[in-house]
Amino acid sequence: MVFDHFTRLWMETAHPAWAERLREFPLAIFTNGYGAVMMFFVLSGFVLTLPALGGKRQPYLVYALRRICRIYLPYLAAISLAILACWQFHGLQIYGHEFQVMWREGSPDTRTVLQHLLLVGRFDVFAYNPPAWTLVHELRISLLFPLLLLISSRLRGRWALAVAFCFPVLAGVMDRASLKLGLPGPAFESSRWITYAKTVEYCGVFLLGSLMARHQGVLRRWSGKMPDALKWLLLPVALLATQYPHRLPIPGHFFEFTMALGEAYILLLALMEHGWISRLLRRRPLRFLGRVSYSLYLLHLPLLMIFAIWIDGKLPFGLLLLPFLAVLLALSAVFYRFIEAPSMALGRRISAIRSLQIW
């Protein structure tokens, strides 16, 4: 996601002739922000299922409050910083479209600020910090996730997978119904990313992650018996599915699910205990990145915008990469230490309140 936004802005500055190659296969695996979002959703379904597998069931109210602490409170701090940055830097006519979808007109208005703070309605989700669109769906589906968990736990694997396939179908039906009923469209093009049809569509991706968690033992045994040649032959197939679903003869609402299937296969390789991906992910730098990844996700685009504004007309955009990454990692570590970690600790304290256990 970080490299996705960086290369988008880079191509809107001097636009070196070779820059577009950064967004082509195979380098596109590092600049495919949407594919990263699908991996984020698959992992969310996977991780949210693990406590139930370990017998750590909790009352719904406790679960919901912990998810709000985990997702919403860090988001609230990050979006507040982005709104302050918009108030300071709004309306600058530099670079191109990708830059100007943020902080483009006037100072922050009360209505849009409240919509971002409350995550309600169909609003211009790109106004202050575009990655916020994913968190609308993450919170919605997190609150509904116990129902998805029932599907993955009560149905046989193949039937639960069939239900996961049904969610994109249902999303398509919802979109067609809204068109036939003549329902008003969003005020901004960006609002299409936070429709309820999209939430339904992503429920299938969360359910896919949940099924991987529930059946990970079977999947590991299956992958362990798979010939190595076939195992590594399927990897580029999975990568292509995450990069180019739109080139496959499938309906539009299955693009994201196709990407999720590719990401799920990559996750399966990572679950192989002695595989090279698993060993790589145990390295200390990558463990650090995993720990601060949410903070990094929340902060990277507003910080990149500020850096881009500071260097406009002074330095080539490409020279910004290393200083930007250094500051981003440091700031993400600070944000994790003082915002994200305390939010998670608050969630754990809430779960210990006895009066909530009866819900």
pLDDT per position as a tens digit, 125-181: 888 998 889 999 999 999 999 999 999 999 999 999 999 999 999 998 988 887 665
pLDDT class of 236 with cuts at 50, 70, 90: confident
* 190 exposure class (CB count in 10 Å sphere: 0-12, 13-18, 19+): middle
Tens digit of each residue's pLDDT (9 = 90 or more) over 168-214:
999 989 888 876 655 555 545 555 668 888 999 999 999 999 999 99
Q: What's the DSSP call for residue 12?
A: T
Distance CA 39, CA 30 (A): 13
pLDDT class of 280 with cuts at 50, 70, 90: confident
Whether 113 shows a pLDDT value over 60: the answer reads yes
State the pLDDT at residue 354.
58
| Percent of the chain whose pLDDT exceeds 90 | 43
Q: What is the CB-side half-sphere exposure of residue 33 using CA atoms within 13 A?
A: 15
Kindly report the pTM of this predicted structure.
0.91
Q: For residues 129 and 79, is the Cβ–Cβ distance under 8 A? A: yes
Q: Which of 218, 225, 178, 220 is nearest to 198 (CA)?
A: 178
- Number of helices (H), then strands (E), belonging to the chain: the values are 16, 0
| Percent of the chain whose pLDDT exceeds 70 | 89
Exposure class string for 108-129: b at 16+ Cβ within 10 A, else e: beeebbebbeebebbbbbbbbb
Whether 251 shows a pLDDT value over 90: the answer reads no
State the pLDDT at residue 104.
73
Q: Which of 259, 263, 336 is nearest to 296 (CA)?
A: 336
Q: What is the CB-side half-sphere exposure of residue 269 using CA atoms within 13 A?
A: 19
CA 269 from centroid of its chain's CA atoms: 20
Q: What's the DSSP call for residue 184?
A: P
State the pLDDT at residue 181.
59
- pLDDT, average across residues 243-265: 87
- pLDDT, average across residues 90-98: 72
pLDDT class of 318 with cuts at 50, 70, 90: confident
Distance CA 218, CA 203 (A): 23
pLDDT class of 19 with cuts at 50, 70, 90: low
Q: Mean pLDDT score of the chain, rounded to an integer?
A: 85
* 268 exposure class (CB count in 10 Å sphere: 0-12, 13-18, 19+): buried
State the pLDDT at residue 30.
76
- pLDDT, average across residues 75-93: 89
CA 70 from centroid of its chain's CA atoms: 14
State the pLDDT at residue 194.
80
Q: Which of 130, 112, 123 is nearest to 194 (CA)?
A: 123
Residue 192: which residues within 8 A CB-CB, separation 6 or more?
A: 186, 198
State the pLDDT at residue 4.
85
Whether 13 shows a pLDDT value over 90: the answer reads no
CA-CA distances (angstroms) from residue 356 to 58, 298, 351, 352?
Answer: 10, 30, 7, 8
